[in-house]
Amino acid sequence: MPSEEFLQNLNENQLAAVKATEGYVRVAAGAGSGKTRVLTARYVYIAKALGVAPEHILSVTFTNKAAREMRKRIRAYLPDEDGGWILTFHSACHKILKEEIHLLAYPQNFMVMDEEDQKSVLQRIYTQNGLTLKDFPFRKCLAEIEIYKSKFDYVPFLTDPARPAQAPGLTQAQDKRSMDLVISEYLKQQRAHFWLDFADLIQFTLYLFKTSKKTLQKWQTKFEYIQIDEFQDVSGEQYKLARLLAGKHKNLFIVGDPDQTIYSWRGADVSFFNNFEKFFTNAKTVILDINYRSTPEILAASNSLIAKNPDRTEKTLKAVLPSEEKPHYFHARSKAEESEAIADKIAALQKEGVPATDIAVLYRSNHMSRALETALIKKGVPYVVFGGTAFYQRKEIKDALAYLRLAVFKDDLSFDRVINTPSRGIGRTRLAFLHTYAENNGISLLEALSDLAQTPQFKGTGAADFLLLAKQAETAAAHQDPQDALDFVLQNSGYEEYLRLSGSQDRLDNLAELKSSVTEWEQAESANVSAADYLNSISLLTNADAQDKKDCVKLMTVHTAKGLEFPHVFICCLNEGHFPSRKIRSKAEMEEERRVAYVALTRAQKHLYLSDAEGFEAQTGGVLYTSRFIFDIGAELLKCSGKFSQGHLARSESYIAESERKMGIRAADPPKMLLHKGSRVYHPVFGLGEVTEVSVEEYVVQFENGKTRSIAANTAVLSAI
């Protein structure tokens, strides 16, 4: 392979970005502009042309899937590349902490909790304090814990051997139904078992660098080049981490697109990208605005939509693909008609030979898939709802992984989950006794069972066999690869046989899929990976890491679709209150919602289908109005079909105008009506007619009564039919 092959076919700006290796560099990369290719080529360029060892290059992505894809591409040019750091922020911090966490009095073999583990901890706290989900829903409580950890310097409470009595910022709650009490108990559980959650991975690393100058200098020296993808989505903590690590060599390369900032609700702050040149003197900016993904017609619609956001850096994507049809816009008279029309079109595409995997249907929120799923089932169209980590939340998968985790970490959460599945005669009473004994003696539940196995209370149970299994599983996990270790625990625990006896073939199939996924993970990773590495990689999965399935149309939210692309994309439920969401209350929120819509449009490669419906729906609290995003695009850029009821467009325009007034948005002009040459219209005085000419200011309409009239474009008099 020629040494410069990885630079071939890069355009001028892409090449400039690749060769900008020194100093602070910002790359504003539009959708489909080849940013992953640039990041990959730049990594290889630094390693080959500059001769820098990969272990001194840190390349940060936002999903494990993106990191795996980048490693795969890089290894095509650097076959022996195993030392490089191509990871997510959380995975990079996990790797650093594996080396350094002993400085914080934590064991190297600490466990990372995923969301289900956190819920288990909360449930334990609720039970101990007489709380229920009605008092504190899990989602609300987890959000409060994350907010707390972003505001207070809580790490010393978890790591200081002196063990402070109370965490900072929390009152000694008298009321057991206090959020402070729940957070305090959650932190105490973490401290007792040396557990870390997602937020801790970054916060612990920042605290480590803050308190140990020597450690910070070590990692600053190590990473001579740092490149970060999706920088528009970084949080304040991630920005601090990037700035600290780049503090010595001052080589920080960031890539992002402010028009795709859609995660402010979870801490993303686009100002770190927009103000990069203010934060870092002599920073350079490269713009990638040539789009290799979508047709000119799709880009025209996307550019028109995002241009309605006033607070943005001007950037217009340019297409290289040949022209296709304009995006289709279908207006339905009901939600059922909209869903049926989508299902009919998908079925027609399949008959034309379009693979199901080339088709995606996007919506703003998960609840919007219900009517669509019903229509697809009726048409016999195979589909899969992409839900991120849903596969790993299935009971049988959590059970299987808990057995493996117990072998590696010997943790109480896994013990509680598997001790009586299948049944070993250790019911609630014995478990409660076991918990009390463990707490009184400051030991784990597994150790407690070992102490008590030969006592009269446990002698007639399966305790002895379980302890033998745990010991053998520990050996298997330490000396076998992850897949063999998983096979061992599933067979020797009796769990697979338990599922067979219950006649649950679906669950057995899911276990087979889990084993297959472990094999694929091993093949994608470097040599000598352990069961612990695999388990922590599962914990580090994010919602963006969806499970791929074959031969199915993909249904997903727009947030899930970010980073993906499909030849045929349907965007449904484009109604006010749906998309944009009814939760939007301010100008800034509406601009972000428009960016979400922009992300949706730019997922399409060849054909884009937009749809909405009219009628009444309880979800929006009343009448359905056409989304302002359809008006933002403009009828001239769409191929429109469907019939509007009399007055629907006028009502939609009025609703949008009132909404913008409430949010303080100044609309220079009322939304344009969705009329084009040939549109059939109704006028309350002249009756039915057809549009014969269209201009910015007016429509010329030939009415069936023989009259021709010029009607102002911004009027609410005409209704499409």
Catalytic residue numbers, as ranges: 35-36, 229-230, 260, 603
Peptide bond into 422 cis (omega under 30): yes
Main-chain dihedrals φ then ψ at residue 687, nearest 5 degrees: 85, -145
- Cα distances (angstroms) measured from residue 99 to each of 205, 539, 543, 656: 11, 19, 27, 55
Nearest to 333 by CA among 693, 616, 650, 679: 616
CA distance 381 to 271: 43
Residue-level length of the chain: 721
CA distance 145 to 272: 24
- DSSP string spanning 550-618? SSSEEEEEHHHHTT--EEEEEE---BTBTTTBTT--SHHHHHHHHHHHHHHHTTEEEEEEEEEE-SEEG
CA distance 720 to 140: 45
CA distance 254 to 26: 5
Cα 205 to the chain's mean position, in Å? 23
CA distance 531 to 484: 9
Find out whether 208 and 148 touch, Cβ atoms under 8 Å. no
Nearest to 507 by CA among 660, 406, 391: 391
CA distance 305 to 74: 35
Main-chain dihedrals φ then ψ at residue 577, nearest 5 degrees: 95, -20
Q: Which residue has the tokens 């749906």?
A: 578
Nearest to 189 by CA among 132, 237, 119: 119
